[in-house]
Amino acid sequence: MPRTNRDDVTLKDIAEAVGKSVAAVSRALNNYEDISPETREHIKRVAREMGYAPTDTLGLVLPTPSARTSDPYFGELLASITSEAASQGFDLLVSTCPADVEENRAYLRLINSRKVDGFIVIRPRRRDARIEMLREKQFPFVVVGATNVAGQVYSVAVDEAKGAQQVVAHLVAQGHQQIALINTPADLMLSLNYLAGFQQAMQHAGLPINTDYLTNSDFSQKDGYRIAHRLLNLSQPPTAIVATDDLIALGVMSAVQDQGLEVGSDVAVAGFGDILLAEYSKPPLTSVRRSAGLLGQKACQMLISRLRNEPVAQQNVVIQPSLVIRQSTDLALWL
């Protein structure tokens, strides 16, 4: 027996069931153009019902080091994707690859070896080689995060710019005027979107943007700590520091405290993501709730629908973020 995938359903069996030739079945399942759409769908449906080589593995390639599962965001994303996938009979194949020229090869390997039937692409970038390649190959995928090619891809994203606006508006309402931004790496769509929202909100509040206050960091407490130190040692340090990730914000809080300042009163700090730690940190961290679990679940559902050739109601789902205000920006909460 060659490597048939399962309990002995062959193309021949399907061919007999649908009354077509083995070749037609093969070509239908491989999406050849010379099989009529109706026949193709019919064959696929019968094949699925008969349990033939089910398309049943989703792929996820974590771009390291920016994305690590030790990052709570990815933990949650993975958790929700895996459990949603499992509940629909799909498995999840996870790999990691540095975000460089090798990356597309990692995707191609999974495609060509047929280990994966569709991808969930995370943390989209400005000119995203992964997305370009998958689109060109017409390989099914769904992006988690806003892209600049919406309309051409399927995606589930939180409105990151809106989140930034909410944070800034809140800080302005608290009386802050010197607001610094520690953004995530500049090539990420997340960073671009957040920056756009930040700038818009600052402008809306009539505040100038000090370019010394615009920086980038990677997703770690360590780097947040380092950069916050720099910001606090400026001749005119900011009174509020906004970070595009909660881990960065935790580092910022440490830096503020290590300078002998108090978070919340001396310097306000806000993050993004609302990881569990945000609630437990000292002081609790104001953050934008992004519900990674919901993002993962929706993206997974969308991808599975696509793989089953079911209609997808909305090609670009946008989830509204909500600002969770805690003591790191609001002293009034200290009772």
Nearer to a second copy (CB atom), residue 6 or residue 222: 6
DSSP state of 215: E
Interface stretch with a second copy, choices 91-99, 158-166, 181-189, 204-212 (CB under 8 A): 91-99
Give the one residue of 10, 57, 259, 316 binding a second copy; rule: CB under 8 A. 57
Give the one residue of 29, 77, 161, 241 binding DNA; rule: CB under 7 A. 29
Q: Helices marked H in the chain — which ranges?
A: 11-18, 22-29, 37-49, 72-87, 103-112, 129-137, 160-173, 189-204, 221-232, 246-258, 276-280, 292-307
Tell me which residues in 46-85 interact with DNA (CB under 7 A): 53
**Residue 253, SS3 per DSSP:** helix
Q: At what angle do helices 11-18 and 37-49 cross, to 10 degrees?
A: 120
User: Residue 207 touches which of a second copy, DNA, none (CB < 5 to 8 A by kind)?
Assistant: none
Q: How many residues at the interface with a second copy, by CB under 8 A? A: 41
Residue with tokens 């400026």: 234
Euclidean distance between the first and the last CA atom of the chain, given in angstroms as a whole number: 72
Give the one residue of 16, 23, 115, 203 binding DNA; rule: CB under 7 A. 23
Nearer to a second copy (CB atom), residue 22 or residue 196: 22
Give the one residue of 10, 39, 50, 75 binding a second copy; rule: CB under 8 A. 75
Tell me which residues in 242-271 interact with a second copy (CB under 8 A): 250
Cα three-residue angle 149-153-155, rounded to 5 degrees: 100
Q: Does residue 31 belong to the site contacting DNA (CB under 7 A)? A: no
Q: Does residue 45 belong to the site contacting DNA (CB under 7 A)? A: no
- The answer to whether the beta carbons of residues 119 and 307 sit under 8 Å apart is no
User: Residue 150 touches which of a second copy, DNA, none (CB < 5 to 8 A by kind)?
Assistant: none
Q: At what angle do helices 160-173 and 189-204 cross, to 10 degrees?
A: 40
Minimum Å gap between C-beta 254 and a second copy is 10
Minimum Å gap between C-beta 150 and a second copy is 28
Nearer to DNA (CB atom), residue 112 or residue 236: 112
Q: Does residue 104 belong to the site contacting a second copy (CB under 8 A)? A: no
**What token pair was written down for 140?**
């099914």
Q: How many residues at the interface with DNA, by CB under 7 A? A: 24
Give the one residue of 4, 152, 203, 315 binding DNA; rule: CB under 7 A. 4
Minimum Å gap between C-beta 109 and a second copy is 8
User: Residue 158 touches which of a second copy, DNA, none (CB < 5 to 8 A by kind)?
Assistant: none
Residue 215's beta-bridge partner residues?
Answer: 182
Q: What is the rounded distance in angstroms from the CA atom of residue 166 to the CA atom of residue 180?
A: 15
Distances (CA, A) of 190 to 72, 293, 331, 333: 17, 18, 29, 30
Residue with tokens 């390649």: 133
Q: Does residue 113 belong to the site contacting a second copy (CB under 8 A)? A: yes
DSSP 317-334: EEEPPEEE--TTT-GGG-
Q: Does residue 2 belong to the site contacting DNA (CB under 7 A)? A: yes
Nearer to DNA (CB atom), residue 3 or residue 127: 3
Residues 6+ apart with CB under 8 A from 70: none
Cα three-residue angle 319-322-323, rounded to 5 degrees: 150
Cα 162 → chain centroid = 16
Give the one residue of 11, 142, 247, 317 binding DNA; rule: CB under 7 A. 11
Q: Site residues (CB under 8 A) for a second copy?
A: 2-3, 5-7, 57, 62, 64, 68-70, 72, 74-76, 78-80, 82-83, 85-86, 91-97, 110, 112-115, 250, 276-277, 280-282, 293
Q: Site residues (CB under 7 A) for DNA?
A: 1-4, 8, 10-12, 19-24, 26-27, 29-30, 34-36, 38-39, 53
